Structure 1
Amino acid sequence: MAANNLDNLDDLDYPAFTTGQAADLLGAQQAFLRSLDTANLLRPQRSDGGHRRYSRRQLQLAARIRTLFDEGHSLAATARIIGLEDDLTAAHDQIADLRSQLDNDTEQ
């Protein structure tokens, strides 16, 4: 059983970090993380006791959001930038898939 739990640590989406741990890793206040949850920018999972649990992917997003705030962007602008970055990543992935399909079709 313990091996399965340790295997989860390699999963970017495994909620391994408490709010305090996440704040320490980010060098931020716990209130910052709670505010991101309230604003629906970052939705951590909840433990059985209702406590927030953050994944490594969420910590990466929180760090990006904090950088945008530190650069002077508002909450609305930060949300829009993150959304556009996600859209751009999805478009790049789709282009790569289409190119791969095209390459496979031309090889046959």
Structure 2
Amino acid sequence: MDPEPQALDSKLDDEDYPAYSMGRAAELLGVTPAFLRTLDKAKLIAPLRSAGGHRRYSRYQLRVAVRVRELIDAGTPLEAACRIIILEDQLEEAQRINAEMRARQGK
């Protein structure tokens, strides 16, 4: 039985839906599967696993991998790149919360 069109649309729109296999993710990003495994080992990206144990990546995780690659290509060590990305994510979340609070206060 085919999935409901609305259910499929919501999965396609979901930034966190694990839609990409390791091979496809590596191909899209122009990196090796070993690079993606390194990000998993560094605990920066924790892909979900399929029933068969294969890594599955979301669009959000692919964007994180691209950012790591950019930092590494610019000469940043992997550990520092991971920390930078974590801090960037924390800053973005704090700014989002701040904007919501301001909106509620009518400013």
Q: TM-score, normalised by structure 1?
A: 0.88
Q: How many aligned positions are there?
A: 104
Partner of 2:35: 32
One-letter code aligned to 2:30: G
Q: Does 1:45 align with 2:48?
A: yes
Q: For residue 89 of structure 1, what is the aligned residue in structure 2?
A: 92
Point out 4+ residue stretches in structure 1 off by more than 3 angstroms: none
Distance 1:96 1:35, change over 3 A: same
Normalised by the length of structure 2, the TM-score is 0.89
Distance 2:9 2:99 in 1: 33
* Residue 23 (structure 2) aligns with: 20
Indicate the residue corresponding to 2:106 in structure 1. Answer: 103
- In structure 2, the partner of 1:68 is 71
Deviations 1:53-82 (A, max 9, x none): 001111111111111111111122111111
- What's the secondary structure of 1:53's corresponding residue? strand
Per-residue deviation, 1:89: 0.6
Write the deviation string for residues 8-56 of structure 1: whole angstroms up to 9, x where unpaired: 1121111111000000000011110011111111100000000000011
What's the CA shift for 1:5?
A: 3.6
Larger radius of gyration: 1
Give 3-state SS (helix, strand or coil) of 2:25's partner.
helix
Identity %: 50
SS of alignment partner, residue 35 of structure 2: helix
Alpha-carbon distance in structure 2 between the residues aligned to 1:60 and 1:82: 11
| Amino acid across the alignment from 1:56 | R
Unaligned runs of 5+ in 1: none
Distance 1:10 1:98 in 2: 26
